[in-house]
Amino acid sequence: MSDFYIHVRFLVSVLFIVLGINGAALAEQVKIGVLSHRGDASTMRHWTPTAEYLTREIEGMDFSIVPLDFDEIDPEVEAGSVDFLLVNSGIYVVMEVKHRISRIATINNLVSEQSQNVFGGVIFTSVNNTHINSLEDVVGHSLMAVDQTSLGGYQMGWREMKKVGIDLQQDLASVSFGGIHDEVVNAVISGKVDVGTVRTGILDSMADEGLIDLTQIKIINQQHNENFQIILSTSLYPEWPFSKLQHTSEELAQRVAIALLQMSQLDPAAQWGDYAGWTVPLEYQPVHDLLKELSLAPYDQIKRFTLKDVFSRYYFSILIIGLLIVVLSAMTLFIYRLHRKLEESKHLLEQHHVQILDSVADGIYGVDLLGNSTFVNKAMEEITGWTGEEIIGLNQHEILHHTREDGSPNPPLECPVYKTFHENKARFVEDDLFWRKDGTSFPVEYSSNPVQDENGKTVGSVVVFRDISNKRKSEEAARQYQSELAHVARLSTMGEMASGLAHELNQPLTAIATNADASVRLLEQGSSISRVVEILEKIGIQARHAGEIIKHLRKFVRKEEPELSRININKLIDEVLLLVKAELARTGVKVTTELETELPEVIAQHIHIDQVLLNLIRNAIDSLSLVDKQQRKLTITTAVLDKEHLIIRVMDSGLGISEEVSRTLFTPFKTTKEHGMGLGLSLSQGIISAHKGELAVETTAPGNTVFSFTLPYSRGED
Ligand code: ADP
Last residue of a domain, one of 414, 448, 467: 467
399 touches ligand 1 (CB under 6 Å): no
Is the domain of 326 the same as that of 375? no
- Name the nearest CA neighbour of 35 among 104, 79, 90, 78: 90
Is the domain of 207 the same as that of 226? yes
Is the domain of 549 the same as that of 499? yes
Is the domain of 204 the same as that of 220? yes
Average the pLDDT over each of 410-419, 547-556, 702-711 and give the range with the smallest value.
547-556
Three-state DSSP state, 226: coil
Last residue of a domain, one of 536, 559, 582: 559
d(CA 671, CA 615): 13
In this predicted model, what pLDDT tens digit does every residue of 276-321 receive, in sequence order? 999 999 999 999 999 999 988 888 865 556 777 778 778 888 999 9
* Strand ranges in 39-129 using DSSP code E only, listed in sequence order: 61-68, 84-86, 102-111, 114-116, 118-119, 121-126
Residue closest by Cα to atom 16 of ligand 1 = 672
678 touches ligand 1 (CB under 6 Å): yes
Residues sharing a CB contact under 8 Å with residue 638, sequence separation 6 or more, in sequence order? 569, 570, 573, 594, 595, 596, 599, 646, 647, 648, 649
Residue closest by Cα to atom 13 of ligand 1 = 671
In this predicted model, what pLDDT tens digit does every residue of 122-175 receive, in sequence order? 999 999 999 999 999 999 999 999 888 889 999 999 999 999 999 998 999 999
CA of 149 to the centre of ligand 1 (A): 134
Query: For residue 149, how many other CB atoms are within 10 A of its CB?
Result: 16
**Contact in structure between 260 and 105 (CB atoms under 8 Å):** yes
652 touches ligand 1 (CB under 6 Å): yes
- Band of pLDDT at residue 679, cut at 50, 70 and 90: confident
What is the count of structural domains for the chain? Answer: 6
Return the DSSP state at 152.
I
Is the domain of 623 the same as that of 714? yes
Three-state DSSP state, 254: helix
Give the 3-state secondary structure of 617-663: HHHHHHHHCCCCHHHCEEEEEEEECCCCEEEEEEEECCCCCCHHHHH
681 touches ligand 1 (CB under 6 Å): yes
In this predicted model, what pLDDT tens digit does every residue of 193-203 receive, in sequence order? 999 999 998 89
- Band of pLDDT at residue 20, cut at 50, 70 and 90: very low
**DSSP conformation letters of 357-378:** HHH-SSEEEEEETTSBEEEE-H
Is the domain of 103 the same as that of 124? no
Burial of 389 (0-12, 13-18, 19+ CB in 10 A): exposed
CA of 619 to the centre of ligand 1 (A): 5
> What CATH number did the domain enclosing 686 receive?
3.30.565.10
In this predicted model, what pLDDT tens digit does every residue of 365-395 receive, in sequence order? 999 988 899 999 999 999 999 999 999 999 9
- Is the predicted pLDDT of residue 514 greater than 80, yes or no? yes
In this predicted model, what pLDDT tens digit does every residue of 562-606 receive, in sequence order? 678 899 999 999 988 988 888 898 899 999 999 999 899 999 988
> What CATH number did the domain enclosing 517 receive?
1.10.287
Last residue of a domain, one of 216, 237, 258: 237
Is the domain of 201 the same as that of 218? yes
In this predicted model, what pLDDT tens digit does every residue of 443-488 receive, in sequence order? 999 999 999 888 888 898 999 999 999 988 988 887 777 777 778 7
pLDDT for position 336 = 94
> What CATH number did the domain enclosing 457 receive?
3.30.450.20
Q: What is the pTM of this model?
A: 0.44
Q: What angle do CA 560, 564, 568 make, to 5 degrees?
A: 110
In this predicted model, what pLDDT tens digit does every residue of 204-232 receive, in sequence order? 888 888 999 999 999 999 999 888 889 99
CA 355, 357, 363, 366 torsion-angle sign: negative
d(CA 276, CA 107): 8
pLDDT for position 14 = 44
665 touches ligand 1 (CB under 6 Å): yes
Is the domain of 483 the same as that of 416? no
Counting from 1 in the atom list of ligand 1, the atom nearest the Cα of 678 is: 8
Burial of 35 (0-12, 13-18, 19+ CB in 10 A): buried
> What CATH number did the domain enclosing 260 receive?
3.40.190.10
Counting from 1 in the atom list of ligand 1, the atom nearest the Cα of 677 is: 3
Is the domain of 619 the same as that of 659? yes
**Domain residues for 370?**
360-467
Is the domain of 212 the same as that of 284? no
Is the domain of 89 the same as that of 228? no
- Band of pLDDT at residue 58, cut at 50, 70 and 90: very high
Pocket residue to mutate for ligand 1, from 611, 681, 695, most atoms within 8 A of Cβ: 681
CA of 665 to the centre of ligand 1 (A): 7
Is the domain of 332 the same as that of 366? no
657 touches ligand 1 (CB under 6 Å): yes
d(CA 444, CA 206): 119
Give the side-chain half-sphere CA count within 13 A for 344.
6
